[in-house]
Amino acid sequence: MISQANNHDQFRVRQVAVLIETESSWGGQVIRGIAHYAEKHAHWHLLIDPRDHEQRSAIPDGWRGDGIIARISSRFQLEQFREKRLPVVNVDDVYNRLDGVGAVHTDETERARLALEHLVARGFRKFACFAPPSHRYSKRRSEAFIKAVTGLGYECHEYLPGYRAGRKIGFEEQQRRVNRWLAALPRPIAIVAVDADRGRQLAEICHFAGIRVPDEIAILAGDTDDLLCEVSTPPLSSISVACERIGHDAAAMLNRMMDGNAAPEQPLLIPPHGVISRQSTDVLSIDDPLIVRALRYIHTHAHHGIVVNDVLREVPISRRSLEIQFRSYLGRSPGEEIRRIRLDRGRQLLARRELSITEIALACGFSNATRFGVAFRKCFGTTPRSFRKALIVA
pLDDT for position 55: 82
Contact predicate 243/213, CB 8 Å: no
- Cβ-count burial of 259 within 10 angstroms (0-12 exposed, 13-18 middle, 19+ buried)? exposed
Q: What is the pLDDT of residue 258?
A: 96
User: 306 with 298: CB under 8 angstroms?
Assistant: yes
One-character DSSP codes across 34-83: HHHHHHHH--EEEEES-B-TT--B---TT---SEEEE----HHHHHHHHH
Q: At what angle do helices 25-41 and 243-258 cross, to 10 degrees?
A: 50
The contacts of residue 115 (CB under 8 Å, 6+ apart) are 145, 148, 192, 220, 222, 239, 275
Q: Regarding beta strands 14-19 and 44-48, do their DSSP bridges make them parallel or antiparallel, or are they unpaired?
A: parallel
Lowest-pLDDT range of 31-45, 217-231, 266-280, 339-353 = 339-353
What pLDDT score does 331 carry?
84
From the DSSP assignment, how many helices (H) and strands (E) are in the chain?
16, 12
For residue range 325-335, list pLDDT tens digits in order: 998 888 889 99
CB atoms within 10 A of CB 318: 9
DSSP codes of every residue in 281-305: G-----S-HHHHHHHHHHHHHGGGT
The predicted model gives 236-263 an average pLDDT of: 95
The 3-class secondary structure across 209-253, one letter per residue, is HCCCCCCCEEEEECCCCHHHHHHCCCCCEEEECCHHHHHHHHHHH
Whole-number Å distance between alpha carbons of 283 and 262: 49
Q: What is the pLDDT of residue 184?
A: 96
**312-326, pLDDT tens digit by residue?**
999 999 999 999 999
Handedness of CA 373, 376, 381, 382 (dihedral sign): negative
Where exactly are the structural domains of the chain?
2-106+243-273, 108-240+275-281, 289-391
More confident site: 256 or 293: 256
Interval 55-69 mean pLDDT: 89
The pLDDT of residue 2 is 32
One fold for 2-106+243-273 and 289-391: no
The residues, any chain, with a CB within 8 Å of residue 121's CB and separated by 6 or more, are 330, 337, 340
Instruction: Tell which CATH classification among 3.30.70.3450, 3.40.50.2300, 3.30.70.260, 3.40.50.150 matches the domain 108-240+275-281.
Output: 3.40.50.2300
| 4 has a pLDDT exceeding 50 | no
Topology adopted by domain 2-106+243-273: Rossmann fold (3.40.50)
Determine the average pLDDT of the residues in 72-83.
Answer: 88
Query: What amino acid occupies position 333?
Result: S
- Mean pLDDT of all residues belonging to the chain: 90
Q: How deeply is 365 buried, as exposed, middle or buried, from its count of CB atoms within 10 A (0-12, 13-18, 19+)?
A: buried
**Other residues' Cβ atoms within 10 Å of the Cβ of residue 152:** 12
pLDDT of residue 74 exceeding 80, the answer is: yes
pLDDT of residue 173: 86
User: Rounded distance, CA 29 to CA 241, Å?
Assistant: 10
150-193, pLDDT tens digit by residue? 999 999 999 998 887 777 888 888 889 999 999 999 999 999 99
CATH classification code of 289-391: 1.10.10.60
Determine the pLDDT at residue 328. 87
What are the φ and ψ backbone dihedral angles of 221, each rounded to 5 degrees? -80, 140
| CA nearest to 66, candidates 241, 269, 254, 275 | 254
Instruction: Give the distance between the most distant pair of CA atoms in the chain.
Output: 84
Paired sense of beta strands 156-158 and 189-193, if any: unpaired
Residues present in the chain in total: 394
The answer to whether 224 and 251 are in contact (CB under 8 A) is: no
Q: Are 286 and 297 in contact (CB under 8 A)?
A: no
DSSP H helices, 121-274, are 139-151, 171-183, 196-209, 226-231, 243-258
DSSP state of 152: T
